[in-house]
Each structure stands twice: as C-alpha cells, then as structure tokens.
Amino acid sequence: MEERGSPDGDPARNLEQGPEGSETPIQVVLRVRPMSTVELRRGEQSALHCSGTRTLQVSPPGGGPDVAFRFGAVLDGARTQEDVFRACGVKRLGELALRGFSCTVFTFGQTGSGKTYTLTGPPPQAEGVPVPPSLAGIMQRTFTWLLDRMQHLDSPVTLRASYLEIYNEQVQDLLSQGSPRPLPVRWSKARGFYVEQLRLVECGSLEALMELLQMGRPFVGKDSLTRSEAPWT
C-alpha cells in the first residue's frame, strides 16, 4: 500500500512504522499461499514459516540456518480474506483518499501466487452464481466500505471508476466501448500524468461497480500471457 501527498502538497500524516521502526508511506503485507492439492499430493513441504505477526522464516533448500525477513504484516495460509483486508489497512487509505490524498493498493508476486484471488476473490462457479461474501477480495470489500462511508460524509461525493491495462508500455482502456485500444499517456501541471481519453464511469452502487469490474476482466491478460498490470481507479 502507498499513500502520497494531496494535490495541494500537504504531506500525509500518521505514517506506518517500517520493519526497522522507521516511518514509511509504504506498507508491505506478505501473504503466504496455502499449498495446493497437487503440491500436497507430490509430498512437497513449505519452506516458509510465519513467526509472529511480522516475521517470515525461510528454510533454504538443502539445509542451513533459516533466514528471517520482516514486513509490515505477515499472514499465513490459514488467514481469511477479511484478515487480509484488515491487515492491509485499506480503510485508513480510503479515509486518506476521501481527503484528497493519492493512495494505492497493489499485489506483487509470481504467477499462481494468489494475486488475483487476494484482490477479487475466486471467479464465479457459474453464470449468475455470486461468489460467497466470505471469499470476496480486497476490491469488493473496499467498494462496500467506501459506499457506506460516503453516506456519512458532510459533503456530497461523486464516485467515478476507470479500469485500464498496462502491457508492453501500452495502455488500454478496459471499459471502452468495443475492443480496447492503446491510449496515450500525457502530463500537465494541473493533473500530473494521466491517460488521455480514458473512460470514467460514475457509480452509485456496489452492483454498478461490480458490473464494471466484470466488464474489464475478460480483457486482462488476454493477449499478454498475464504479464500485465491492470490498475482500477
């Protein structure tokens, strides 16, 4: 997670404590994926062990002393989607975003490590069959929290969403009418970097947000063997 200053240049406050105690605007949360059925069937064993809430112990192949790594938070394979949402501090980032700060939550890891599952949960088992609420990912939980929070603000807030993919230095609008096409990235003093002609859709309900998310998902990684980034803003 990352938070940056607001458009008027004010610094973000209440910085997170880094692994060594220093303040940092970036908080790293490590989630250990449970071993798959195939891995267990092959008799494989995990080399990762969570020691406490912030330390990961790694057992090197072939023996040798364990190596310890510290993070903002460490979650083992038994943790739920709700545990991940809470550990990532998304509500705090949401409060900062509503005050005008730029905040980002993203996942990083190798293919098959659980990035998409963490963000959006498992895919629906069949058309029209919703994903159980307990398995909802960070994005759905953030949508729900944000919409509820907006109802209690003193000033009215308009929620707009965009969805794009970055691959091979090209940007495509996943919410465009028709097939996505490359769009130029521009910069201005007023806006900073932005994507020209990127579609912004006003959303007033969870259903509308989820519909947009599902609209863009079929295009993500379609021609890029999943080696792409798909920011939702």
Q: Got the DSSP string for 34-81?
A: PPPHHHHHTT----EEEETTTEEEE--TTS---EEEE-SEEE-TT--H
36 appears as a binding residue in the annotation: no
Interhelix angle 138-150/90-98, rounded to 10 degrees, is 40
197 is in an annotated binding site: no
CA distances 47 to 33, 41, 106, 107, Å, are 12, 16, 25, 21
116 is in an annotated binding site: yes
- The answer to whether 115 is annotated as binding is yes
**111 annotated binding-site participant:** yes
Give the whole-angstrom CA distance, residue 81 versus residue 90.
Answer: 13
On whether 113 is known to bind a ligand per the annotation, the reply is yes
**Per the annotation, where are the binding residues?**
109-116
**Per the annotation, where are the binding residues for ATP?**
109-116
